[in-house]
Amino acid sequence: MTLALLLAALLAIACVVTVAWPFLREPEPESDALEKLEPSERRRLDLLEARDRALAALKELEFDHRTGTVSDDDYRALVGPLRREAAATLQALDDGALPVEEVDAREGRPARERIS
């Protein structure tokens, strides 16, 4: 009984420390705000997804054409719109949604830590 209660108390203390750890580790952080994606960054993320989707679709179409799953006629009908779609997203990325470093620099924000 006593041992069980002792172990239970230790467990509870360990859990409290785990939960409190972010506050113990950084008692007075520079900023406690959650980083959010700015509208321009979210737009860029959407465009990057669209670009990857279009490029993957092109790749798959090329392969399906090579295997014979897609006929020559169908390939010719499909490849044009897909290429235009990929080109449009690449153009939009170049034009409108600037890389984040550039956005940060333009808006006077400090450089961010990145995923390595």
Partner 1 sequence: MAELGRAALIVTLGLTAYALVAGAAAAHIGRRRLARSAQNALVAAFGSTLVAAGVLLAALLRNDFSFVYVAQTTSEALPTAYTISAFWGGQEGSLLLWLLVLTGFGAAAVTLNRGWARDLVVWVVPVFAAVAFFFSFLVVVVASPFATQQAPLDGAGMTPSLQNPYMLAHPPLLYLGYVGLTVPFAFALGALISGRMDERWLVATRRWTLLAWTALGIGQLLGAHWAYEEVGWGGYYAWDPVENAALMPWLAATAFLHSVMIQEKRGMLRVWNVLLVILAFSLSLFGTFLTRSGVVNSIHSFTQSSIGPWFLGFIAVVVAVSLVIVFRRLPQLRSPTKLESPVSREAAFLYNNLLLLALCLAILWGVVYPMVSEAVRGEAVVLGRSYYDFFLRVFGLPLLLLMGIGPLVAWRRASLRSLGTTFRWPTAFALATGVVLLALGAGSSVPGLIAYTFSAFVAATIVLEFARGTRARKALGAASWPRAFSSLISRNRRRYGGYVVHAAIVLLAIGIAGSSAFDSVAEARLTQGQAMSIGDYRLTYQSLEERSAANATELRARFAVTRGERDLGMLEAGKNAYTVEQQVSNEVGIRSDPLTGEDLFVIAEQIDPDGTVYLRVFVKPLVNLIWIAGLVFLLGSVIALWPDAREQRRLVERTRDVGVPATR
Of 48, 80, 87, 105, the one binding partner 1 by CB under 8 A: 48
Cβ 99 vs Cβ 40: under 8 Å: no
Closest approach of Cβ 107 to partner 1, in Å? 12
Closest approach of Cβ 57 to partner 1, in Å? 6
Q: How many CA atoms lie within 13 A of 91 on its CB side?
A: 6
Q: Does 19 bind partner 1 (CB under 8 A)?
A: yes
Determine the Cα–Cα distance for residues 94 and 102; give it in Å rounded to an integer.
Answer: 12
**Tokens for 8?**
């239970």
Q: Does 26 bind partner 1 (CB under 8 A)?
A: yes
Cβ 96 vs Cβ 43: under 8 Å: yes
Of 18, 39, 107, 108, the one binding partner 1 by CB under 8 A: 18
Q: Look at the block and give the residue holding tokens 């006929």.
A: 71
Closest approach of Cβ 52 to partner 1, in Å? 6
Determine the Cα–Cα distance for residues 86 and 91; give it in Å rounded to an integer.
Answer: 9
Give residues in contact with partner 1 (CB under 8 A). 1, 4-5, 7-8, 11-12, 14-15, 18-23, 26, 29, 31-37, 41-42, 44-46, 48-50, 52-53, 56-57, 60-61, 63-64, 66-71, 73-74, 77-78, 81, 99-101, 103-104, 112-116
